[in-house]
Structure 1
Amino acid sequence: MVDLQKDVWAVADTLRGVYARNKAGDVILPMTILRRLECVMAPHRAQVAAIVAQQPNETLRVKMIKSFTGGVKFYNTTTHTLATVYDSGDDMADNLLEYVRGFSKDIDVFANFHLPQHIERMRKGGILATIVRQFRDLDLSPETVPNSKMGELFEHLIYMDFESSNAESGDHYTPRDAINLLVDLLFAEDDNALAGDAIRSIYDPTVGTGGMLSVAEEHLQRMNLDAELLLYGQELRSESYAMCRSDMLAKGQNPQNIVLGNTLTNDLFPDDKFNYILSNPPYGVDWKNIAEDVEKEHKKGFSGRFGAGLPPTSDGALLFVQHAITKMNPADSQDGGARAGIVLNGSPLFSGGAGSGSSSIRGWLLEKDLIEAIVALPNDMFYNTGIPTYLWVFDNKKRTERKGKVQLIDATDLGAKMRKSLGSKRVEIDEAARERVLQQYAAMESSDTSKIFDNLDFASWQITVERPMRRNFETTPERVSLVSEHKSLGDVDGLSGALISFNGGKYLNREKFLADLGKHLGSRGINLTSAQRKALWQTLGERDDSADICRFPSGKNKGEPEPDIPLRDTENIPFGWDGNPKSHDAKEATIKAYFEAEVKPHFKDAWIDYTKTKVGYEIPFPLHFYKYVPPRALADIDADLDESLQEILGLLRKVEEGK
């Protein structure tokens, strides 16, 4: 397989001169697909040609071909192959173009890769014959390169293409080891898939080239040869879509189930639900340019896809999560619910405070008991990023023992070093590590690397603690100078002079100060607006714990203490704090008990502004698996520093001796 990968990408050397290296994939990818389709068709080429000649109706033609070949759903109306095209001499470009255009209409990969234009470019560059010969000589038959290996080849070619163009390959596909683990977890709870001729559907809303769907199909077939998995996917990038659709055709899947479009703005399976959902949405995808469409759907509430909330426009991962949940087969359906597996970075675990869109989405997932397990993967697992990555498993019909529970599994130490790095990918989850994770998942027991939580263990009340404003007031030259510099007070004629002439001394009561100062300013014909009056006492006042409490002079809070904004603080109180019931109904009692125990002893005059209380949801995964590492002994650090110093001195002596 390694030699095949090298042989295919070696075509880039032939393209050099006519194509920049970062454009080699524009030719290599579609030509690889062309050769693969040709090899799939080869055993039945003559018989299929007869069916095409006899049956003009497209629908009937495809049905007859599928029946005859045992699953192939495409054909070519010409007699060309890469071998005959190569042998056609001067007519090579025209024949290759005719061959490419002769595929059934479901094969749209070549148009999406603009292959006809590239054929002409290669002809003019004098390299077309060599390229055709190189692909003619590749054996990509299903017997030599089964679907799983073909997927690995596609993965390698995409990686090479995006590495050469410095693009973000992680946006397009997921490493097979990560997919294998996620698929294992996805099927782990589905006993029905093992029974008889089960039919299951699986959907990837960010399907890329279809790697996740392919692994899932292979996995189910290993579990049950009689089971059938119907594959569906939507993809934004036309090249990836075309590759995925071609791959589905080659495997006998329905190409109409792979669609092109933006999943967040245009769900092209609006009425469909699925048994499984798999997805690796792009990390940190910015959705500002589609915000109007997303916000419009959010306003529909749960009749749309984004009723739970909107994450920040800088990261749309939780939009994809909400979309995936809405595509799950209902729990009360005949098939018995659905499961979803989604690859995410750390942001969806804890980004956004209480009351934010992200927190609200997490709350919805937890309160609806949809999150079954989250697995932390080793760093450096993905091709274009070394950041922490997590597998989320969702289930809308959990087993009894998992109801109301979330399992966290720490697999960060299970990565095996790769012999050769691929971009940022330096480690992989091998079979032994995958089995270890699955064992922990199945056991559902607490250990150093597996923790079981109630859903509401991740919920808390965020309370706002206020303290009263206390100020002293004085018209000293230093404070008056601040008034002179103030943008709304500095232009008031005579104000600074009037303040300097005010000899009231230091006031510890705001109302008394304003009353006396107001008379003084009035006697000098200086009248201030309410806004200017407020700005004046704020400028002349200084915090003083010995001063009287400032109270609201009017309004519904008249006579109540006025909060000191800089002293305002928030406290997060976990549900179930100090043995209180872990429920929303325990809100008042839990908050009161916490306040009396944790706040009042330190700030006697503090109070809670209950109008600002919010419920927040956060899954602090790393916190639950934190391992304390004691600092090194000072003697060891000193020894290392001394060794480094001696090394530096030795180098300096060599420099001096060399002069």
Structure 2
Amino acid sequence: MNHAIHNSIVNFIWGIADDVLRDVYVRGKYRDVILPMTVIRRLDALLEPTKEKVLVMKAQLDEAGIANQHAALCQAAGEAFYNVSPFTLRDLKSRAKLQQLRADFEAYLDGFSPNVQEILDKFKFRNQIPTLIEADILGHLIDKFLDTRINLSPRPVQDMDGNERLPALDNHAMGTIFEELIRRFNEENNEEAGEHFTPRDVVRLMADLIFLPIADEIESGTYLVYDGACGTGGMLTVAEERLAELAASHGKEVSIHLFGQEVQPETYAIAKADLLLKGEGGGAENIKYGSTLSSSDPFLSQEFDFMLSNPPYGKSWKSDVDRLGGKDDIKDLRFVTHHGGDPAYKMITRSSDGQLMFLVNNLAKMKPTTRLGSRIAEVHNGSSLFTGDAGQGESNIRRWIIENDWLEAIIALPENMFYNTGIATYIWVLTNRKREKRRGKVQLIDASEWFVPLRRNLGKKNRELTEEHIRAICDLVVTPVETEQSKIFPNEAFGYWKVTVDRPLRLAVDLSPARLERFERTCAKSKEEPLANLARRVAGVLGAGPHLDFNAFMDACGADAKAHGIKLTAKRKKLLQSELCDTREDAAPVLKKVHRPDKATPDPIHGLFKIELPSPRGRGAGGEGKIHVVEFEPDTALRDSEQVPLLEEGGIEAFFRREVLPYTPDAWIDPAKIQIGYEISFTHHFYKPAPMRTLEAIKADIYALEQETEGLLEQIVGEAER
């Protein structure tokens, strides 16, 4: 289509808002009228030639008592939709009385087929009719859309001599015009645009990232493209155009089917209307309304060849969590799987940000058996790279992806690329059919400095990618090489063991009169007077202290309890410890468990220590003064954790000996608490420290300041003398 004609139509429709809606609607609400009216006028133009056929068919079907009329009426209309009202927009143009115009216009809208009714309902367009009637602008609005200076019909407009005055507007051109109107309205409402509108330069890059690496392998056939957060559908249509273009350039014939889901009513209506305007009635039926995460999955058994998404990030999905049964009870097989030996491996992020859940949803819809498998491109902010500790949902998702070798590349985009946020964003590229040279590896590309400034800001977007930038990024993905902006790592480079490091609890026992008196008051409140008497007797034997061996104290308490018929329960032991003891670095470690030497192997790194136990503890474990293997009670206040890289030479033990034991020789690792986590740090891999200034440069600045100061001082003194 001629770009001049394209722009003239867009400008004319854009101008209708100022001509008709000003002083009735605020600018931010123009779209509520203009977008649905553009859809209505285009549908009306498509249906005009077959209007009589549809009405005749409707009468015949009613007379025959046929209830299911949709297919027959679509066939009569020659489209995937129809209108069975007696009116066209041109019929309504002559209505002078407002109430008659309102009644006829509502009857006209009611005559559309169910798929159009859904679009009108989601636009909430009927809610605008009272305002349009009250302001007496509905007729003027209809006149504007029927203006003879523009043609929204698929047939050319001819002059009196039969020459073409206005060219025909095919479905593709109409869809492009509609998308341009959407883009302009999104720019007007830039505070919301980023929620459902991805800039076209980013979409083009995403499409190329999933298609170009396998462009030579595309065969003639059918391909399914999916977007689980499709917004207005722009990402799907760009992907469709790019795939068709690449297939044609390789001499292949492809049939492309689009699928999507959207939770915002208006943007869902726009996506569905856009496909209808492009003549893709079947595709419009594949756009589903509702939450991708919590609704009954409309594509539960469907698998897709290509998937692109820009999911909402930093946005709560708590309502979805609640609908799924609560975080601890989610059973959805998209988000709970078998991995790493865990049959119920959970990939559920914190409820404050569900962006990675959309990626998991896409990965659950990959084709596992086809030659090309599936390819995915998805936009995320930086938190998806590192948020979440080992064992938490976000880290589990990264682990699941990387250990399955699905992550191909991550590209860091420039800041200020989107309309409603200036933060850093990243494109994840994934596939379940990595090429041989990519297997077991992940590529990171820092394209954060590749941009050109916009001539004027679009919301917070003030940068864009040129075709050269897109080509440079895609070249690095198609032919992965190491450069200053491109680095390639083994999958394990992003993984780590989270190791819990414990140190022994060391308690000093205070049996001073003041402490015992306080203990007696506590025992009186909890009705544990026998325990207070026990403490008094033990203090009489051991003295006031402080005693640096808690184990000897407990042995004495045990002996006294046995002698006086007192049951020393776990609760009573806890009370003695909490009320009579204080942590002290020079005290002996508190014993947790004693093993016989022939039953346990000493392993200090994992908390099994070999020591000689005195009486009576030694007697109870096999004899006085014998060497035993023991475990110590950990001091939770001293508990720490370390991240040990999966690529650490010698593994956890070598790291522990080198980085922990030289500084805390009594520390050990709790093997039951070791977890695997994954995180990706662009800053770590691409950080460039600012070069240090030379001494000569610093000295020069100091001398310059001194000279400037002396000059000012002379000036001040001179003025004072005058």
Pairing 1:224–2:247 present: yes
> Secondary structure of the residue that 1:243 maps to in structure 2?
helix
Pairing 1:94–2:103 present: yes
Unaligned runs of 5+ residues in structure 2 are 1-5, 62-68, 154-168, 338-345, 597-607, 609-620, 622-629, 713-722
CA contact (8 A) 1:193 1:224 kept: no
Q: CA deviation at 1:115?
A: 2.2
Residue identity matched to 1:621: F
Q: Paired residue for 1:270?
A: 300
Change (3 A) 1:478 1:149: farther
Cα-to-partner distance string for 1:265-316 (whole Å, 9 max, x where unaligned): 2111222111111111111332322325535899797855542521112222
**1:414 paired residue among 450, 453, 457:** 450
Q: Paired residue for 2:41?
A: 35
Change (3 A) 1:452 1:294: farther
Unaligned runs of 5+ residues in structure 1 are 67-71, 581-589, 650-659
**2:678 paired residue among 599, 603, 617:** 617
What pairs with 1:537-552 in structure 2 (closer than 5 Å)?
A: 537-552=577-592
Residue identity matched to 2:182: F
> Secondary structure of the residue that 1:341 maps to in structure 2?
strand
Residue identity matched to 1:281: P
> Secondary structure of the residue that 1:240 maps to in structure 2?
helix
CA contact (8 A) 2:215 2:246 kept: no
Change (3 A) 1:351 1:488: farther
Aligned residues: 621
Distance 1:632 1:484 in 2: 68
What pairs with 1:507-518 in structure 2 (closer than 5 Å)?
A: 507-514=547-554
After TM superposition, the structure 1 stretch with the greater mean CA deviation from structure 2, 133-142 or 525-534, is 525-534
Distance 1:388 1:356 in 2: 23
Q: Paired residue for 2:131?
A: 121
CA contact (8 A) 2:355 2:380 kept: yes
Distance 2:685 2:516 in 1: 54
TM-score, with length taken from structure 1: 0.82
Residue identity matched to 1:259: K
RMSD in angstroms over aligned alpha carbons?
4.0
TM-score, with length taken from structure 2: 0.76
After TM superposition, the structure 1 stretch with the greater mean CA deviation from structure 2, 118-127 or 56-65, is 56-65
Distance 1:482 1:19 in 2: 75
Change (3 A) 1:408 1:221: same
CA contact (8 A) 1:297 1:304 kept: no
Change (3 A) 1:248 1:87: same
Q: CA deviation at 1:258?
A: 1.4
Q: CA deviation at 1:452?
A: 1.1
Q: Paired residue for 1:584?
A: none
**1:280 paired residue among 302, 306, 310:** 310
Distance 1:413 1:285 in 2: 27
CA contact (8 A) 2:334 2:360 kept: no
**2:358 paired residue among 313, 320, 328:** 320
> Secondary structure of the residue that 2:468 maps to in structure 1?
helix
Residue identity matched to 1:180: R
Q: CA deviation at 1:543?
A: 3.7
CA contact (8 A) 1:5 1:153 kept: yes
Q: Paired residue for 1:629?
A: 690
Distance 2:411 2:579 in 1: 54
Distance 1:263 1:533 in 2: 53
Cα-to-partner distance string for 1:397-429 (whole Å, 9 max, x where unaligned): 122122222111111111221111122222112
Residue identity matched to 1:183: A
**1:153 paired residue among 181, 196, 208:** 181
Q: Paired residue for 2:645?
A: 574
Distance 2:522 2:437 in 1: 65
Cα-to-partner distance string for 1:187-211 (whole Å, 9 max, x where unaligned): 112336754x432111111112111
Residue identity matched to 1:270: L
**1:602 paired residue among 646, 649, 663:** 663
Change (3 A) 1:93 1:293: closer
> Secondary structure of the residue that 2:545 maps to in structure 1?
coil
Change (3 A) 1:305 1:491: closer
**2:508 paired residue among 472, 477, 485:** 472
Cα-to-partner distance string for 1:611-641 (whole Å, 9 max, x where unaligned): 11111111223321111124678959998x9
Q: Paired residue for 1:655?
A: none
Pairing 1:199–2:222 present: yes
CA contact (8 A) 1:193 1:220 kept: no
Pairing 1:561–2:632 present: yes
> Identity rate of aligned residues, in percent?
34
Distance 1:483 1:619 in 2: 53
Q: Paired residue for 2:624?
A: none
Q: CA deviation at 1:237?
A: 2.1
What pairs with 1:103-122 in structure 2 (closer than 5 Å)?
A: 103-107=112-116, 108-122=118-132
Residue identity matched to 2:641: T
CA contact (8 A) 2:452 2:464 kept: yes
Distance 2:29 2:514 in 1: 69
Q: Paired residue for 1:62?
A: 74
**2:21 paired residue among 15, 18, 34:** 15
CA contact (8 A) 2:324 2:330 kept: no
Q: CA deviation at 1:155?
A: 2.6
CA contact (8 A) 1:498 1:521 kept: no
CA contact (8 A) 2:373 2:432 kept: yes
Q: CA deviation at 1:380?
A: 1.2
Task: Point out the structure with max Rg over C-alpha.
Answer: 2
Q: Paired residue for 1:506?
A: 546
> Secondary structure of the residue that 1:202 maps to in structure 2?
strand
Residue identity matched to 2:665: K
**1:237 paired residue among 249, 255, 264:** 264
Residue identity matched to 1:258: I
Q: Paired residue for 1:585?
A: none
CA contact (8 A) 1:298 1:310 kept: no
After TM superposition, the structure 1 stretch with the greater mean CA deviation from structure 2, 227-236 or 304-313, is 304-313
Pairing 1:76–2:116 present: no
Change (3 A) 1:120 1:601: same
Cα-to-partner distance string for 1:498-541 (whole Å, 9 max, x where unaligned): 69997523211112344567899999999986435424434544
**2:195 paired residue among 171, 195, 206:** 171
Distance 1:426 1:554 in 2: 68
Distance 2:328 2:304 in 1: 22
What pairs with 1:357-368 in structure 2 (closer than 5 Å)?
A: 357-368=393-404
Distance 2:359 2:522 in 1: 50
> Secondary structure of the residue that 2:657 maps to in structure 1?
helix
What pairs with 1:255-404 in structure 2 (closer than 5 Å)?
A: 255-265=284-294, 266-294=296-324, 303-307=333-337, 308-330=346-368, 332-333=369-370, 336-404=372-440
Residue identity matched to 1:202: V
Distance 1:217 1:297 in 2: 36
Q: CA deviation at 1:238?
A: 2.2
Cα-to-partner distance string for 1:345-375 (whole Å, 9 max, x where unaligned): 2222211111112222211111111111111
CA contact (8 A) 2:327 2:348 kept: no
> Secondary structure of the residue that 1:577 maps to in structure 2?
coil
Cα-to-partner distance string for 1:83-111 (whole Å, 9 max, x where unaligned): 54333322433333233233333212112
**1:85 paired residue among 64, 80, 92:** 92
Distance 1:450 1:62 in 2: 53
Distance 1:577 1:123 in 2: 73
Change (3 A) 1:240 1:635: same
Q: Paired residue for 1:587?
A: none
CA contact (8 A) 2:57 2:76 kept: no
Q: CA deviation at 1:50?
A: 3.3
Distance 2:700 2:111 in 1: 72
> Secondary structure of the residue that 2:411 maps to in structure 1?
strand
Q: CA deviation at 1:488?
A: 10
